[in-house]
Amino acid sequence: MNDRLAHIRDLFDLDDDVVYLDGNSLGAPPKAVAERVRHVVREQWGRRLIRSWSEGWWEAPERVGNRIGRLIGAKPGQVVVGDSTSVNLFKALMAAVRNTDRMEIVVDEGTFPTDGYIARSVAELTGLALRPAPPEELDLRDTTAVVLLNHVDYRTGRLLDMAKLTEQAHAVGAKVVWDLCHSAGVLPIELDAVNVDLAVGCTYKFLNGGPGSPAFLYVPKHAQATFDQPLTGWTGHEVPFAMSPEYTPDPGVSRARVGTPDIISMLALDAALDVWDQVDLADVRAKGLALTAHFRSLVEDLPGVEVITPADEWRGHQVTLRHPEASRIMDELIERNVIGDHRPPDLLRFGFAPLYNTFTDADRAATTLKELL
C-alpha cells in the first residue's frame, strides 16, 4: 500500500536493528521528548522555579487533555489528564453509581485485570452486585447501573462496537464507561457523537507518553455538573488556592482532578503528542489494518500457531497468536531483537503502531518467528 505515514517514523528514536512490536504496552519515544524534558528540568523548573506554576504548569492537565480529546472525538473542555487509569476508572465508576437505586455493575468478563479489580472494589464499597458478562451477551436490565467495557480486548485484539453497545446500555437506562487504553491513538473514536457517558485511558501505549505517563478521563459537558467523584482533592476545587475548609467542585471537567499534577511526565506527554499534529487518524487506521493483515497472512499457517485476533476489521492494531511454548518463543524473539510480549499461559502479542512500524518490520518478525518454529 502507499504508506502515507512512512515519514513519521523519522520522528521517533528507534534503533534500526530492532523490530519493536510492543507499542500496545509501551510506545516508542518521539525524538522531541528528550529535549522537551531537558528544557522543563533546566529552564522551567531550574530557572523559573515555582513561577512556572503560573506560566503554564497549572493548566497543563486541561490543555493536554484537549489535545487527547481531538484524538478521541471529544470537543474541548471534556478531557482532563492526571492520575493513573486505575484511579480514573475508580472515579468514573463511583460517579456513575452514586445515588443510584439500581442493583448491579456489569463488567466485560474478559476485561483487563485492573478494570475488574477496581469494579469489584466499587461494588464492595457501594453494596452493588458485580456481574461479569461477555460483551455479546450482556443481558442488561433495568437494575443495571453501569457497564464497563474495553474498546479493544488486550489479549485478543478484538474491537467492540462502541456505538451499538452504548445504545444498548442507554436503552435500559444504564450508563457505560469505556476503557480506551488499547484504542486511543490507534483508530478514530467518536465519544461525543456516540453519546458515551464516561471514558478513561492511558497515554503510554499508542500515544507514546512514556512509562507511567498520566492517564486521561473524559466527562462530557452535559454530565459535568453532576459528576460526583469520590476523590475530592484540592486541585478539583473551584478555587484551589483559596484553601477553603469546605469543598466546592470546579464547575467543569477540572472537578475530575485530585492532587498536584506530575509536571515532568505531563509535559513529556505533551511533547509526544506533537507527532499527532501531522497525522490523520484515518491514515493511521488504514495502515494499522494493512499491517496486521499482512503479518497475519505470514504467520497463520505456521506449525502449532493459532491466530486468535479477528480476521475482519473488528480488531485493534495487534495480532495475538496462541502457542503452547509462547513464553520461550517470545524470549527467543526478543534475543533476536524482535520485541513483542507474552501473556500467560500461551499468548504471543504483536502490537503494530502505524506511526513507526513498517511492513519490513512485519516481514522480519514473521521470518524470525518461522525460523524459531
Structural domains of the chain, ranges and CATH numbers in brackets:
5-30+280-372 (3.90.1150.10), 56-277 (3.40.640.10)
- Is 85 annotated among the ligand-binding residues? yes
Active site residue 287: no
Active site residue 205: yes
SS3 155: coil
Q: For residues 189 and 140, what is the distance between their CA atoms, to the nearest angstrom?
A: 24
Q: Which residues contact 191 (CB under 8 A, 6 or more apart)?
A: 72, 73, 74, 78, 178, 199, 218, 220
Could you say which of 179, 197, 262, 361 is catalytic? 179
The half-sphere exposure of 362 on its side-chain side, counting CA atoms within 13 A, is 24
User: Phi and psi of 46, rounded to 5°?
Assistant: -70, -35
- Is 204 annotated among the ligand-binding residues? yes
pTM confidence score: 0.97
Is pLDDT above 90 for 3? no
pLDDT tens-digit series, residues 43-70: 999 999 999 999 999 999 999 999 999 9
Q: What is the pLDDT of residue 116?
A: 97
Return left, alpha or beta for 210; rule: phi > 0 is left, psi -120 to 50 is alpha, else beta: left
Is pLDDT above 80 for 127? yes
Could you say which of 36, 205, 255, 257 is catalytic? 205
- Is 260 annotated among the ligand-binding residues? yes
Q: What is the pLDDT of residue 1?
A: 67
Active site residue 112: yes
Could you say which of 12, 20, 154, 204 is catalytic? 204
Active site residue 204: yes
At 165, list the grid cell.
453497545
DSSP string, 181-200: TTTTTTS---HHHHT-SEEE
Omega prior to 135 cis, within 30 of 0: no
Q: For residues 61 and 105, what is the distance between their CA atoms, to the nearest angstrom?
A: 29
Q: Which residues pair with 277 in a beta bridge?
A: none
Beta-strand pair 347-351/19-20:
unpaired
Q: Which residues pair with 108 in a beta bridge?
A: 133
- Is 182 annotated among the ligand-binding residues? yes
- Tell me the residue ranges of DSSP E strands in 45-183: 79-81, 104-108, 129-133, 144-150, 175-179
Q: For residues 371 and 365, what is the distance between their CA atoms, to the nearest angstrom?
A: 10
Could you say which of 112, 227, 350, 356 is catalytic? 112
DSSP string, 66-94: HHHHHHTT--TTSEEE-S-HHHHHHHHHH
Q: What is the pLDDT of residue 2?
A: 78
Report the mean per-residue pLDDT for the chain.
97
